[in-house]
Structures are given as structure tokens and as C-alpha cells.
Amino acid sequence: MDKPNLIFVVFDTLRADYLGCYGNKRIYTPNFDAFAGESVIFDNVYPESLPTIPVRRGLHTGRRCYPFRDYQILKWCPIKLPGWQPVSNNEDTIAENLVNNGYYTGFITDTSAYFTPGMNFTRGFLQWEFIRGVEGSIYHSPSRVTSEILKKYGGDINKLNKPYPKYFTLNAAANLSDVYSEEDTTTAQVFLRAMRFIDENRVFKPLFLFIDCFIPHEPWKAPDSYLEMYYNNPDYNGRTFLHTKYGPVDTQMTEEEFKHTVAHYCGLVSMADTWFGYFIQKVKRLGLWENSVIVVLSDHGTNFAENPERVIGKPHYALYPAVMKVPLMIHVPGMKTSRRCKHLLYNIDATATIYTLAGIEKKILLDGKDLTSLMRKNQEEGRQYLTCRYGDSVWYRDTNHWVIMNIKGQARSVFDIKKDPECMYNIVSDSGKIIEKAWKFILKDAEGQLPDYTDLIEETDALGERVWKKRNS
């Protein structure tokens, strides 16, 4: 039997509970839902480390990045955060191993973090394309932005002439200045290039295509046609927050501005659904659907105040379900109906599964769990517990409890997820034995020690907006 084509589609900040196939009745996601109807849907998948780059290191290698050993500040990289580093020379990437096993490999993304100086995520890809223009990377000149525009987007006009060090809102506003239609968005461009890739290269069998789409990550600015699906008030005169401070929402915006912000996020989810749908239509039209494994995954979600502190965004200390629970759907050739799997799993299990479906028998060191047997029978056990690190916070969950701690072992939050699945009632003061158990497994997965980088970098903003400085030792 011919080896299947492998298509790995990653979305940034796509919450599982904003998709219809995960129970959402409000957000319009017909294409994700149709895809789920012919796929295995995994209901309890979580990142093994956070945020953007640590997740992607894990997905590209199948190895855990937790607990962030050997971190060094990467020169000229705007993000200084434990785990934010290139793939090690001692690790293989999935693209390298697939190309060595006869696959024609491609990589298409608009995620700018991949391409900051010193990163090396293109290893193993015969073709790759980086579509610029999202987030806060300086693509278009910040001189395009006036004080009125910056104020409209919730920016600080005192930073109008300070594009670097990186000022997200200013640079994102500049990048949005030539987006006049949906087709101008980098989301559309990512999937248009992906469609072109499979069209031009379908003569090469088999194919591996890694698509990494940055939305619905900030900047939260949906085209009007999508915004109006969730917020249609022609008299709205508040701000459009491209990027909020990560912290309590009520100190940053009015209730109406908050509704407007969430509506933009919902609109971006629906736009991602639209372009994913166009791509799947192309796959089917080219006759590739019948012999393609397609994996759809997110790196993490984001908070929208549905937590005890009404936090918005994803500060390291707010590892609530809205951030941690991610969608994972896997379609394999021949699937005509959906199946659900409720086991506790890591995101990197998707990478290990791709290796198996590609028929690679060579011994490759992986930390991910092959899900093929579980997908067929749903009888094999998942994991008994999960751990994750983000900055100087660590997270643990099992079937009963959800724990957020710092790297010193001090618990910040404990939740009984049997009684409180949304994690709204913190029981940390009555949870000594639970904290002790969580810390035991956190240290076990870290091989006895969580690296502490506070002698190198230090967080200085209590609200979670990251401001780092080098210390003089």
C-alpha cells in the first residue's frame, strides 16, 4: 500500500470550546465541524509546554521541551522566555525524517516567531514559505500609523515613535494598513499558498505539508463581514483592542469594549474555518483526500475572563482550561464517520502518530504517544496525569484535580475538576495532599529539578505583561 500524504495544520490560540464539534453553539465553524465528522476527535489534549515556540519545538520534534533545560537568551530575539529557543542540533525534526523516507516536504506559515534571528525550524523542508505581516513584527513602517489610529486600537500614543523595542499595537496597526479585504489577510495567503503547494507537487508521492496559521492569535481584528456575525452595532464608538494586557480585564476596558474584543476573536475563528474549508475542498478536488492523513491542532487557547480573576489573555500564572485545552482532530483514509477519544493526551502525541502512519520503523527517540491503536479501539489507556511549564509557572492535572504552581513548589490555584470543570472555585487552602502529589509528579517529569532562570531574566510586571531585564551578576 502506498504511503499516505501527511498534512499537519496548526492554528495559534484556537480554543477547543469555540468550535461546534467541541460543543459550541454560537460560533460559526461548519468546515471544522464537517472535517470532525470524518475524523477522530480528541477531547482532552493539552500542551506539554508553553507558549508559541516551546509548543512548536515539541510538535516538530515529538520530544518534550519541559522543563526547559539549557535555555539561553537568543541574541536579537524580542522574546526572552524560558524554552524560547531553536530546535537542538541533537534532535531530529519530523520533516528531516520524512524527507529521508521518501516524502516531499513543505512548510507554509505566517507565524513570525519561527523566523526571528537564530531559529531553525525550516530544517528538513524542501520548500517553505513565510508570509509576513501579522503580529508585532516590523513589516510595514510604523510611520503609517497616526496618533488617532493608535488610540483607536487601544495603543499608547506616547509610544508612537518607538517601534523598537517591540511595541505590538503600533507595529500590528502598521501591518494592517494594507489589508483591505479578506483575501489580503495573511490567513488567506497561507491557505492559498498551501493550495498551490499541493496542486504543483501532487506529482511527487507522498507529500508532507506543515501548515501553521497564526490566527486567531492577536491582533484581534477581524474583517467587518466576520465581526458583524458576532457584533453588529453601527453606533459603537469604543476602542478596537488589537492586543490587550495579559491580566484582569476590568482594569483595561469597558464591558462594551470587552464584548467587541471577543467578537473580533470569534470572527477570526470563523475566518480560519472558511479558509481551512477552501483548503480541504482543494484536497478533495485534486483526489488527495482518499490517501491523506490530516491532523488539525492548536497550540493553546486564551482567557476571556471566564476564570476567578477575570483574566484576559494568557499570562503564565493563568493556566485555566481556556488556555490549556486544545482541539485535536485526525482524519485517516477511509474514515466516513467521527469517533471521540476522552483520554488525557499531549499535543506531541500527534507527531508520534504521524510517524506511525508514515510507516517509519527506524528507532527515533520520541516522547509523544502513538495514538493509532487508541484511534482504532479506544481501549488503550491514555496518560494518568499531565504536566506543563510556562515561564516560571508549572501546571498539573489528572482525572480529579487541576493545579497551578510556581517553580518553587508554591501552589497558586487548585481546582476539583469533578465538581468544578470550569475551574472557578480555588480550593488551594484545603489541598495540602493534592499539592504534594502534584509537585511530586512535576519534579518526576523534570527529572528531579525545575531549571530556575531568575539569575538571567526577571519578570517585573504583576499583571502579566512581560517586561524582562538582564541582571548584572
pLDDT in tens, the chain (473 residues): 689 999 999 999 999 999 999 999 999 999 999 999 999 999 999 999 999 999 999 999 999 999 999 998 888 888 889 999 999 999 999 999 999 999 999 999 999 999 988 899 999 999 999 999 988 788 999 999 999 999 999 998 888 877 666 688 999 999 999 999 999 999 999 999 999 999 999 999 999 999 999 999 999 999 999 999 999 999 999 999 999 999 999 999 999 999 999 999 999 999 999 999 999 999 999 999 999 999 999 999 999 999 999 999 999 999 999 999 999 999 999 989 999 999 999 999 999 999 999 998 767 889 999 999 888 876 667 899 999 999 999 999 999 999 999 999 999 999 999 999 999 999 999 999 999 999 999 999 999 999 999 877 654 333 333 443 443 33
What is the Cα 153 distance to its own chain's centre?
24
Report if residue 18 sits inside a domain: yes
**SS3 label, residue 405:** strand
Q: Range of 186's domain?
A: 5-139+175-379
Report if residue 392 sits inside a domain: no
In sequence order, the β-bridge partners of residue 326 are 45
Q: Return d(Cα 435, Cα 383) in angstroms, integer.
A: 19
Give the closest residue to 60 by CA, choosing from 100, 97, 102: 97
Give the closest residue to 297 by CA, choosing from 92, 2, 8: 8
Task: Return the exposure string of 320-331: e unless at least 16 CB atoms fall within 10 Å of the residue's CB, then b.
Answer: bbbbbbbbbbbb
Q: What is the pLDDT of residue 472?
A: 35
Whether the CA torsion 364, 57, 212, 265 is positive or negative: it is: positive
- Count the helix, strand and coil residues of the chain and give each as a percent rounded to the nearest 5: 30, 20, 50
Task: Return the exposure string of 366-382: e unless at least 16 CB atoms fall within 10 Å of the residue's CB, then b.
Answer: bbbbbbbebbeeeeeeb
Report if residue 165 sits inside a domain: no
The C-alpha cell 465538581 sits at 419
Report if residue 212 sits inside a domain: yes
Q: What is the pLDDT of residue 467?
A: 41
Q: Return d(Cα 273, Cα 293) in angstroms, integer.
A: 19
Helix 52-61 with 349-357: angle, nearest 10 deg:
30
Q: Return d(Cα 345, Cα 347) in angstroms, integer.
A: 7
- Quote the pTM value: 0.95
Please give the tally of structural domains in the chain: 1
Q: What CATH number should be reported for the domain holding residue 52?
A: 3.40.720.10
Do residues 407 and 392 lie in contact, with contact meaning Cβ atoms separated by under 8 Å? Answer: yes
Report if residue 189 sits inside a domain: yes
Cis before 206 (ω within 30): yes
Report if residue 238 sits inside a domain: yes
What is the Cα 327 distance to its own chain's centre?
10
Helix H or strand E segment including 192:
helix 186-201
Q: What is the pLDDT of residue 419?
A: 97
The C-alpha cell 504543483 sits at 200
Report if residue 399 sits inside a domain: no
Question: Beta-carbon neighbour count of residue 15 at 10 Å?
Answer: 25
Report if residue 432 sits inside a domain: no
447-452: long-range contacts at Cβ-Cβ below 8 A with a sequence spacing of 24 or more? 447/67, 449/67, 450/67, 450/389, 450/394, 450/407, 451/67, 451/68, 451/69, 451/71, 451/82, 452/392, 452/407
